[in-house]
Amino acid sequence: MNTEKDKVMDIKEAIKRFVKNGSHISIGGFTLNRNPMAAVYEIIRQNIKNLHLYAHANGQAVDELIGAGCISKLEIAYGGNARFAPTCIRFKKAIQDGKILFEDYTNYQMALRFLAGAIGVPFLPTRSSLGTDILNKWGFSKDLRKKDPKIPNKKVIVMNNPFDSWGDASKVVLLPAITPDVTIIHVQKADKQGTIRMKGLTFADVEQAKSSKYLIVTCEELVESDELRDDPDQNQIPFFYVDAVVHIPYGAYPTACYRYYDYDPIYLNEYRRYAQDDDLFKKYLDKFVYGVKDHQELLNVVGKERIEMIKADPRTGYAINLDRK
Amino acid sequence: MAEYTLREIMTVVAAREIKDGDIVFCGTGISMIAAMAAKHINAPNSVIFFETGAIDSKLEELPLTVADPRVMYFTSMNGGLADSFATMQNKFISKHVIGILGAAQIDKFGNLNSTSIGDYLRPKARFPGSGGACDAASFVSRSIIFMQHEKRKFVQKVDYLTSPGWLDGPKGRKKAGLPGGGPSVVVTNMAIMRFDEKTKEMYLSGYYPGITPQKILDNMGFEVDISRAKEVKPPSYEELIVLREKCDPQRLILE
C-alpha cells in the first residue's frame, strides 16, 4: 500500500529494497509469456537465497530461480515450458535430487489462493481435486507447518457442504490464502505512480499483485498518467497496490510480451541444452546472468538481429512465421 | 487410401469425438490440433477455450503453450486463470465442456498421473504436475485422454493420482463429491479405449489398421475387454488436408 506520486526506481534498488533472503515471493506471467525475467535475473545476481516461491504455471522464471539456487520452498501447480521443456529441467532435477521442499496444487487452486489473499479471506472453496492425491500427499511436514508461521497448518481441508446439498455439491476443498511478501509482475504500460495496463491475457497477475504486501512492477513503457486515465477501463491494477515502478524494455525477454515481442525460441532451445547438465548450467549463469551487469547488457549479448526477429507484428501481436522449432 | 502418420490418425480420431457446440478445454500439442481440426471438419460451432483465459482464439498460427501470444489474437475475450476455471466449474457451462488431457500413467478407471513416479517427496521421475488438468478432470462432463500405449503407462495403480477419472468405479466420483462427468475416451498410438457404461472400466473400442488387439494387450499393464473392438476408420483425404494445410502447416506438432 503506497500512495506516493513517483515510485520509479531502477531494478537493482527495487529488488534490494523488497526481496530479502527468506522472503515469500510470487512472480507473474505463465510458461513462456510475460515472466518478469529482468527482475528474476537481478534476484539471481544479488544472490538472494532461501526464497519461498508461490507459482501456478509460471515457467521459465521458476526454472531459472530454482537452477540458480535461490529457492528453498516451492508451492506449484505446473513446472513445464512448452516444447522447450516439457518438464522444466532444473525444477525436475531439484525435486529428484531432494534439493528443495515442494508441494503440489492445481492452477485453479493457486489462482484461488491468490484471490483469497487479495480479497482478505483465510480460504476459498473449490470442487477441484476431490478424490485425488493433491489432497492426500503433502510436501511440507506437520512439524514444519507448526514451526513456520508463514505456512498454513494444513495444506487443504475437505469439508462437507455446510449448506447441505445447496449448489449441488456434497463436499468442497478449502484452500488456504496466499499473501506473499512481494510479487513481481511485468506489464506493457505503467505510469510513475503505478497505474497498470496489461494487454492480452492477465493470467493470475492481478490476484497475485493484490494478495501481496509489496508489489514490484516492471514495464515495457513508462507513460504519462493521462494516457492511462484517458481510457481507465483498460487498466487492471490501481496505483496504491504498487511499491516500485521499473522501466525495462524487453523486461520479459526471453519470454514473450504480447503486442511487443514474441518468446525467443533460440534462447529457450539453448537454455534447455545448458540446463541438462550441472556444469553447463553454471556456464549458462556465468555467461547470461552473472556475466552481464543488467538486462540491457543481456540484450546486447543476444544481439540486435535476434531482438528484431521476435518483434511483434502490429496486427496479431506476435512475430509472424517465426521459426519456433 | 491416403498415406498418414501416426500422429495424424491420433489427431483425427480425437477430433471426431468433439461434438458440434462443445466447448473444448485444450492443452498444448496434439490436443490443440485435434480441437482445431474438429472446428474445420465435424464441429464448426465448437469453441476452443484455454485455461489461461483465452476464449475462441483465432489460431492463425499454432500456439506452443496455452500462454503463447498466438492464443490471444482475435479472441472473444482475454481473461485470466481464476475466471477460466470458474467457467468450467459453472454448472450450466460445465455440461458442455469437453477436456483434452494427457498423462504419464493411466489406470483402468481413467485416473491420471502427471506428477511423479516413485515416492512423491523423492521421486524417480518428476513431471510438470497438474497445471489445469486436475481442475478440468474434476469439472468437465467428458474428456479425451491422449496416451502412448506402453506397459509402464497403462498401470494397475497410478503412482500419484493427479487428475480424477472414474476413481474406484461407477460410484467413485459421487462418493468423493465430484460432479457426474468423467473420462470418455483414451486415444493412443495404437487404439481407442472407452469406459464401460456400467463398470466404468476401460475396454478396447477400436484398433488402428495394421494393429492387432493382442498387440494392444501386450502393451498394457492390465487386462481389458477386447470383444467389442472394431478397426478404426483411417483419416480421409479431406481430413488430412485440413490437418496439413489449416492446423499445422509449419509441422510443429504433427511431424
* β-bridge mates for residue A261, sequence order: A257, A311
In sequence order, what are the residues at sequence separation of 6 or more whose Cβ sits closer than 8 angstroms to the Cβ of residue A162? Answer: none
Q: What is the domain count for chain B?
A: 1
- A53 part of contact set with chain B, CB < 8 Å: no
* β-bridge mates for residue A103, sequence order: A75
Amino acid identity, residue B17?
A: E
The answer to whether position B254 is within a domain reads no
The mean pLDDT value for B169-189 works out to 96
Task: Tell me which residue range forms the domain holding B177.
Answer: 6-247
- A164 part of contact set with chain B, CB < 8 Å: no
CB atoms A106 and B250 under 8 Å: no
B18 has a pLDDT exceeding 90: yes
Distance (Å, whole) CA A164 – CA B22: 31
For residue A233, what pLDDT is reported? Answer: 97
Chain A interface test: which of B101, B126, B140 (most A C-beta within 10 Å): B126
Distance (Å, whole) CA A82 – CA A277: 20
B255 has a pLDDT exceeding 90: no
Distance (Å, whole) CA B56 – CA A89: 32
For residue A325, what pLDDT is reported? Answer: 86
- B198 part of contact set with chain A, CB < 8 Å: no
The b/e string for B142-159 (b: 16+ C-beta within 10 A; e otherwise) is bbbbbbebeeebbbeebb
Is the sign of the CA dihedral B52, B139, A95, B32 positive or negative? negative
The answer to whether position B115 is within a domain reads yes
Name the minimum distance, in Å, from the CA of B33 to any CA of chain A: 15
Distance (Å, whole) CA B14 – CA B16: 5
The mean pLDDT value for B19-25 works out to 96
**Chain B residues 18-77 with CB within 8 Å of chain A:** 28-29, 51-54, 60-61, 64-74
For residue B1, what pLDDT is reported? Answer: 65
Name the minimum distance, in Å, from the CA of A101 to any CA of chain B: 8
B162 has a pLDDT exceeding 80: yes
The answer to whether position B237 is within a domain reads yes
The pLDDT tens digits along chain A (325 residues) read 899 999 999 999 999 999 999 999 999 999 999 999 999 999 999 999 999 999 999 999 999 999 999 999 999 999 999 889 999 999 999 999 999 999 999 999 999 999 999 999 999 999 999 999 999 999 999 999 999 999 999 999 999 999 998 999 999 999 999 999 999 999 999 999 999 999 999 999 999 999 999 999 999 999 999 999 999 999 999 999 999 999 999 999 999 999 999 999 999 999 999 999 999 999 999 999 999 999 999 999 999 999 999 999 999 999 999 999 8
The answer to whether position B61 is within a domain reads yes
Residues of B in contact with A207 (CB under 8 A): 80, 82
Residues of B in contact with A59 (CB under 8 A): 65, 67
CB atoms A131 and B132 under 8 Å: no
Catalytic residue from among B8, B17, B51, B239: B51
CB atoms B115 and A104 under 8 Å: yes
Amino acid identity, residue A46?
A: Q
Enclosing H/E stretch for A184? strand A182-190
Q: What angle do the packed helices A89-96 and A265-275 form, to 10 degrees?
A: 20
For residue A225, what pLDDT is reported? Answer: 98
In sequence order, what are the residues at sequence separation of 6 or more whose Cβ sits closer than 8 angstroms to the Cβ of residue B211? Answer: B190, B191
CB atoms B91 and A207 under 8 Å: no
CB nearest to B126's CB, from A96, A131, A132: A96
**Chain B residues 153-182 with CB within 8 Å of chain A:** 160-164, 167, 172-179
Which phi and psi (to 5°) does residue B29 adopt? 70, -135
All domains in chain A, ordered by first residue: 11-122+177-309 (3.40.1080.10), 124-134+152-176 (no CATH)
Q: Confidence band (pLDDT; 50, 70, 90) for B253?
A: confident
For residue B27, what pLDDT is reported? Answer: 82
For residue B98, what pLDDT is reported? Answer: 97
For residue B119, what pLDDT is reported? Answer: 98
The answer to whether position B157 is within a domain reads yes
The answer to whether position B1 is within a domain reads no
**Chain A residues 213-242 with CB within 8 Å of chain B:** none
E-strand spans in A36-135?
Answer: 51-54, 71-76, 101-104, 123-126
Name the minimum distance, in Å, from the CA of A235 to any CA of chain B: 13
Residues of A in contact with B176 (CB under 8 A): 130-131, 171
- B91 part of contact set with chain A, CB < 8 Å: yes
DSSP string, B168-222: TSTTHHHHHT--S-EEEEEE-SSEEEEE-TTT--EEEEEE-TT--HHHHHHT-SS
CATH number for the domain harbouring residue B224: 3.40.1080.10
- Residue pair B65/A81 in contact (Cβ under 8 Å)? The answer is yes
pLDDT tens-digit map of B193-246? 999 999 999 999 999 999 999 999 999 999 999 999 999 999 999 999 999 999
For β-strands B142-146 and B97-102, DSSP reports them as parallel
The answer to whether position B100 is within a domain reads yes
The answer to whether position B255 is within a domain reads no
Distance (Å, whole) CA A295 – CA B87: 38
CA-to-CA dists, residue A292 to A36, A65, A192, A222, A300, angstroms? 17, 17, 27, 24, 9
For residue B251, what pLDDT is reported? Answer: 85
Tell me how many residue pairs between chain A and chain B have CB atoms under 8 A apart: 212
CB nearest to B130's CB, from A106, A171, A320: A106
B128 closest CA partner among A238, A31, A301: A31
Task: Determine whether B51 is an active site residue.
Answer: yes
